[in-house]
Chains A and B, each alone.
Chain A
Amino acid sequence: MSKKKTKSNFEQDLSRLEEISRILEEDSVELEEAISLFEEGVKLSKSCLKTLKEAELKITELKSELGKITQVDEE
């Protein structure tokens, strides 16, 4: 459950990072805003990189008709 949450957070974090990257490239951004965005971006970057580094492929096998779910460990 917590892993699932991490994943959706990862996507959110990454798109926020893209947004920040875009804003920082604009000339109109105020210095104070730029600095706080930058701090936020660095934090997001670190957590994203950490998530990527720790990621392990999870495989679930569905046993056909009965809908019985069996976990299969990756080799």
Chain B
Amino acid sequence: MENEKQILTVSELTKEIRKTLEETFEQVSVIGEISNFKSHISGHWYLSLKDADAVINCTMWKGFNQYVFFTPQDGMKIIVNGKLTVYPPRGSYQLDIRSMKPAGLGELQEAFEKLKQKLEAEGLFDEKFKKPIPVFPGKIGIVTAIDGAAFKDLISVAKRRFPLVEIIIAPARVQGSGAAESIVNSIRILNEYPGINVIIVARGGGSIEDLWAFNEEIVARAVFKSKVPIISGVGHEVDFTIADYVADLRAPTPSVAMEIAIPDINEIENFINEFLLKSTTNIETLLEERKEDVASFHKSYGFRLPMEKLNRNSQQVDSSIGRILQSIEKYSMIYDNKISLLSKSLESYDIQRVLKRGFVLVEQNSKFVTRASNFNKEKKAQLKFYDGEITTQ
């Protein structure tokens, strides 16, 4: 009977083992190196932790792994906290991980270097892929936390420097679990939004863990894939992230990223005012020069020549006219004389003919007396005959 009591079904034994293990190792911390890491489509993580001599299978359910700020990579040394459990269908035990962190900062640094080398080898940092940043962006897309300090900085720089721009913010988680996915999503959304000329991916300063999302491979690939040029402005000047290397332009801080993205309104105003001043002077100089040109033309011999010619010609005309007038005068005098001579002889010729016929002309006081009533008996009279004149007593 006692022996029979000892006989357990597989399930019963497994149940006992499970109970023992779970009770004994309800809360354990383990250090080990990741191998065979797999993020299942369901969101659960499957991995093994190993050291030189042993391996233990691990799971990390979605509900827990969403709080992990980094994506585990094979070879990374981590410290996990969890409980041991049994998977009855396979008769295996495994560690249910509840939290996970890198064994040291060196682990993150190493992960960073590994990813950097990998992406660099793929050409993701190549200058030839860097898109030019437009000088006058109409719309700027921003990927950052909407309640973060970086966003405030970005807005205040835009307001001060170039308020003509339009800001399109696609809010993203920039820290902790899910941050990488959120950043990737925001970059995608901004690429779909019409008319965005440049995207700023930004986050204020923080620890390497805080900035870790920008060192994730999916973020690097999303930045590389973006059709819209991307300026990164993550952390402080000393912080370099993988996203910085892939970005079309790396700015040391969020504020500088905005300064690079937009022109300065003051510079534009200065340019315009300078234009007004300079071109006014230019025009005035040009006018002055032309005036001088005209004046010197005016004084030039060539310009005076036609005037002189005109003067000379009019002098010629004048003297010709003078000569013409003179000769006209001369001729008219000659003709006048001739005419008067002729008319005199004509006149006398007429009188002679009358006198020849026996008529007499009576003259008193140098006037012809043509009527008897006009004759003065008291005075002398000249009697003009054909053949001579007689003066009466």
Residues on A lying within 8 angstroms of B by beta carbon are: 4, 7-8, 10-11, 14, 17-18, 20-21, 24-25, 29, 31, 34-35, 38, 41-42, 45, 48-49, 51-52, 55-65, 67, 72, 74
In the complex, whether B276 has a CB less than 8 A from a CB of chain A is: yes
Check if A60 sits within 8 Å of B168, measured CB to CB: yes
Check if A62 sits within 8 Å of B169, measured CB to CB: yes
In the complex, whether B190 has a CB less than 8 A from a CB of chain A is: yes
Q: Measured between alpha carbons, how far is A62 from B146 in the docked complex, in Å?
A: 11
Check if A31 sits within 8 Å of B193, measured CB to CB: no
Listed A/B pairs (17) with beta-carbon separation below 8 Å: A4-B138, A10-B164, A14-B136, A17-B272, A18-B271, A21-B279, A42-B279, A45-B275, A45-B276, A49-B269, A52-B164, A52-B265, A55-B163, A58-B167, A61-B146, A62-B171, A64-B171
Residues 162-196 (chain B) with a chain A CB within 8 angstroms: 162-171, 182, 185-186, 189-190, 192-193, 195
Check if B165 sits within 8 Å of A57, measured CB to CB: yes
Q: How far is the CB of B170 from chain A (nearest CB, A)?
A: 5
Interface size classification for chain B: 35 or more
> Contacting B276 at CB < 8 Å: which of A42, A57, A63, A72?
A42
**Closest B residue by C-beta to A56:** B163
Interface majority SS (helix, strand, loop, mixed), chain B: helix
Q: Measured between alpha carbons, how far is A22 from B185 in the docked complex, in Å?
A: 45
**Closest A residue by C-beta to B136:** A11
In the complex, whether B105 has a CB less than 8 A from a CB of chain A is: no
Check A34/B282 contact, CB under 8 A, given A17-B272, A64-B189: yes
Residues on B lying within 8 angstroms of A by beta carbon are: 136, 138, 146, 155, 158-159, 162-171, 182, 185-186, 189-190, 192-193, 195, 265, 268-269, 271-273, 275-276, 278-280, 282-283, 286-287, 290
Check if B282 sits within 8 Å of A24, measured CB to CB: yes
Q: Measured between alpha carbons, how far is A40 from B194 in the docked complex, in Å?
A: 33
Q: Measured between alpha carbons, how far is A1 from B9 in the docked complex, in Å?
A: 76
Check A64/B170 contact, CB under 8 A, given A24-B282, A45-B275, A48-B272: yes
Residues of B near A4 (CB, < 8 A) are 138, 195
**Closest A residue by C-beta to B263:** A14
Check if B282 sits within 8 Å of A59, measured CB to CB: no
